[in-house]
Amino acid sequence: MCEGSLHPRPKGRGIRDPPRSRCNNRNSGNTSMNDRKLYRLFAFSLVASSVILYFIEYLLMGDTGSIFSMFVGNLAFLPINVLLVTLVIHKLLNDMEKSNRIEKLNMVIGTFFSQTGTRLLAFFSEADPGIEEIRKYLIVRKDWSEKEFSDVSRRLKNYDYAIRAGALDLPGLRDFLEQRNDSLLRLLENPVMLEHETFTELLRAAFHLTEELLNRKDLDELPPSDLEHLEGDVRRVYSLLVYEWVAYMEYLKDNYPYLFSLSMRTNPFDREASPVVK
C-alpha cells in the first residue's frame, strides 16, 4: 500500500493541503527515467545504424578515402537538413495543428449559437428600434460571396445598436440566461477559447449581463438610471453577438452547407424564416 494515500485531518487552525502521495512521486520518477532510457536507446540506435552502414560500404568499396569524402559531404548538408526539418516541416505541422484547433473552436461556437446565441439575437433584435436599417443586410443567402459578408461586417461596425432595456422582457431574458449560465461558464473555461479573442469577449459580456440580471430581485421596477446601465451591458452583448453571428454564417457556408442551410432557415433577423423546407 502506498504511503500518503490516506490523510488524517491536520491539527491546528486552518486547512492544509494533504501531502503528496509518495507512490505518485515514485511513479512520476519512474516514468521520467523510462523516457530518458528510451531517448538514449533511440540515439544509440541511430549512431549504431550509421556505423554499420558505413562499415558495409567499406566492405563493398574498400576505399576509405571515398567513404570519408562522402561522410564530409553528408556532414556539410546537415545544417541544410536541420533547416528543412525545423522550419519547413515544423511549419507544416504547426499549420495542421492550428487548423485542427480552429475546427474545434468553430464546433464550440456552433454549440453556443444553437443553444444560446440565436435565441439572444431574437430577444435583442425585437427590442431594437433601428433594426430595419440593417435587417435586409442580415438575410444571408446561399449565393453570398466573401464580398457580401465583408460588406455586412463593415456596416455592422458603424451601426448604433440603440436597443432600449425598457423594451426588453427583462424577466424572460434573465430566466433564459440563468438556464444557460452553466453552459456559458463552461464555454468561457474552455482553453480553446484562447484562440478567439472576440468570441471570448462575447462570452464574458454575456456572463456579465447574466450576473447583472440575476442580482436584481425585481426587474419590473427599475429606476431609469439602472435601466440605462443595463442598456450598456445589453448593447455590448448585442453588438458582439451580431458580428460573431455573421462570421459564423460565413464559416458554415464555406465548410458545412447542410448546417448553413438550417441556419438560413432559422435566421433570427428573417421574419419569414422557417425550419420547414419549402
Find the mean pLDDT for residues 21-35.
Answer: 54
* Rounded distance between C-alpha atoms, residue 104 and residue 117, angstroms: 18
Q: Same domain, yes or no, for 142 and 67? A: no
Confidence of residue 148 (pLDDT cuts 50, 70, 90): very high
Least confident of 72-76, 109-113, 178-182: 72-76
Read off the pLDDT of residues 175-196 as tens digits, 9 standing for 90 and up: 999 998 888 888 878 777 777 7
**Residue range of the domain that includes 86:** 22-96
| Residue 214: pLDDT over 80 | yes
Look at residues 69, 96, 123 and tell me which one is the last residue of a structural domain: 96
Same domain, 154 and 183: yes
SS3 annotation, the chain: CCCCCCCCCCCCCCCCCCCCCHHHHHHHHHHHHHHHHHHHHHHHHHHHHHHHHHHHHHHHHCCHHHHHHHHHHHHHHHHHHHHHHHHHHHHHHHHHHHHHHHHHHHHHHHHHHHHHHHHHHHHHHHCCCCCHHHHHHHCCCCCCCHHHHHHHHHHHHCCCCCCCHHHCCHHHHHHHHHHCHHHHHHHHHCHHHHHCHHHHHHHHHHHHHHHHHHCCCCCCCCCHHHHHHHHHHHHHHHHHHHHHHHHHHHHHHHHCHHHHHHHHHCCCCCCCCCCCCC
Residues 147, 259: one domain? yes
pTM greater than the 0.75 cutoff: no
Res 204 pLDDT > 50: yes
Task: Please give the residue that has the higher pLDDT: either 151 or 81.
Answer: 151
Torsion angle in degrees (nearest 10) through CA of 40, 45, 46, 48: 120
Task: Let me know whether 112 and 236 are in one domain.
Answer: yes
pLDDT computed for residue 15 by the predictor: 37
User: Is residue 212 predicted with pLDDT exceeding 90?
Assistant: yes
Query: What pLDDT is recorded for position 60?
Result: 76
Percent of the chain residues past pLDDT 70, beyond the cut: 88
Q: Note whether 123 and 176 are within 8 A (CB).
A: yes
Least reliable range by pLDDT among 45-49, 65-69, 265-269 = 65-69
**Whether 35 and 66 share a structural domain:** yes
Residue 209 cell numbers, joined? 449581463
Same domain as 228, residue 123: yes
- pLDDT attached to residue 31: 60
Residue 257 has pLDDT above 80, yes or no: yes
Confidence of residue 64 (pLDDT cuts 50, 70, 90): confident
For residue 210, tell me if it sits in a domain: yes
Q: What is the pLDDT of residue 29?
A: 54
Of all residues in the chain, the percent with pLDDT exceeding 90 is 33
Q: Is residue 187 part of a domain?
A: yes
- Kindly tell me if the per-residue pLDDT of 142 is higher than 60: yes
Of the candidates 94, 112, 101, the one whose C-alpha atom is nearest the C-alpha of residue 207 is: 112
126 and 67 within one domain: no
